[in-house]
Amino acid sequence: MKQRIKAALFAAVFLIGAFGFVCGEGLGAAAAAGTALPQQLGAGTILHDVRPGAGVTRTTWLSEWFEALAGTPADTRVFILDSGKPGAVVFVAGGTHANEIAGILTAVTLVENAVPASGKLIVIPDLNNSASTWTESNQVPAWIAIQTASGTRFFKYGARLTNIAHQGSPDPESYRHPDGGDVFEGWESRNLNRAYPGAAHGTLTQKLAYAVMELLRREKADVAFDLHEAGPESRLANMIVANPKNLDMAAFAVLNLELDGFRMKLEPSSDTFHGLSHREWGDRTQAASFLIETPNPAQSNNAANPAEDPAYPLKARVMTHLASIEAILDAWNMMNDSGRTITFAAWPSRDSLNKNGLGSILK
């Protein structure tokens, strides 16, 4: 077995070289949103339409791991799927960027369908809940409607950044991560994926990042996923970014994904680019850390529909996220040294997703 893994890794090095790497993500302007299906709580918090499935043993809020988040618009629901049997703890987050809808919906399908047989799954579908309270352009829908057997369900299509009204201060002129590195535009201070490891007494975005770090540390997460999307022409589209310490698992997963019909690029976290989930989660906690990107046409063209573009069907993007998570967890189960594994008695059906659409695997 070890021999096979080594051969696979060797081949993966060639794959990585052959694909080449690139990075960058887009942004838009302001405007707000829509009908009222998900419930609006106090202080602008949104309670999204997520319907816990048979695997969910507890529903809580992220403020359980960092009290200062309670009552703020950045608090967000956390779904725990605990098999009750020993095993690996796996964390999945959608909605770091609330306009990257395939990541959010992938997390929702896990909450509604996954049933762990060993280990524990912790899912946050809308990680930056403040970002889901606004949209960056009136050319994208504020809600994504999906037909299910029980009727139409609505999912919030939000923005990339924390709502400026919630951050509590105007954007600085420029933003440099506390650990140094590149200087960004000031609005990047509201980008959760530039804020890790966060700060207990920082901005709302830094507090949110700090809460995630606390969850990963205190729950002793073994594996952590951050689900994203990028414009289809972005070098990031269809890519797995892995912390260097767990690059081998990602390489093995990329090979198996290729056999399964999914062509994913692979890249290690940059050494100099601070504040990103895969970098800081992996460096500062025990978790093997991965970021997965699929192509969202609305991120390069505001007029494109993020859910209904026939060239980039939402169900295919969700399928890519699900397949990538599965492949990485298979690699984890086979390659990790801790002996802790996670297995599932039920998982969102890719077959049904493919044949009958996203609505068929939503409650």
**Could you say whether residue 317 binds Zn ion (CB under 5 A)?**
no
Q: Is 228 or 340 the residue whose CB approaches Zn ion more closely?
A: 228
Piece of the chain touching Zn ion by CB under 5 A; list 56-64, 76-84, 89-97, 171-179: 89-97
Q: Is 83 or 191 the residue whose CB approaches Zn ion more closely?
A: 191
Q: How far is the CB of 62 from Zn ion (least distance, A)?
A: 18
Q: How far is the CB of 347 from Zn ion (least distance, A)?
A: 24
**Could you say whether residue 97 binds Zn ion (CB under 5 A)?**
yes
Residue sitting closest to Zn ion (CB): 228
CA 323 to each of CA 182, 254, 258: distance values in angstroms, whole numbers, following the listed order: 33, 10, 11
Piece of the chain touching Zn ion by CB under 5 A; list 16-24, 95-103, 266-274, 321-329: 95-103
- Count residues near Zn ion (CB under 5 A): 3
Q: Is 156 or 228 the residue whose CB approaches Zn ion more closely?
A: 228
**Could you say whether residue 177 binds Zn ion (CB under 5 A)?**
no
**Could you say whether residue 265 binds Zn ion (CB under 5 A)?**
no
**Could you say whether residue 194 binds Zn ion (CB under 5 A)?**
no
**Could you say whether residue 228 binds Zn ion (CB under 5 A)?**
yes
Piece of the chain touching Zn ion by CB under 5 A; list 39-47, 129-137, 171-179, 226-234: 226-234
Q: How far is the CB of 191 from Zn ion (least distance, A)?
A: 9
Q: Is 26 or 181 the residue whose CB approaches Zn ion more closely?
A: 26
Q: Interface residues for Zn ion in 99-128 (CB under 5 A)?
A: 100
**Could you say whether residue 207 binds Zn ion (CB under 5 A)?**
no
Residues forming the site for Zn ion (CB under 5 A): 97, 100, 228
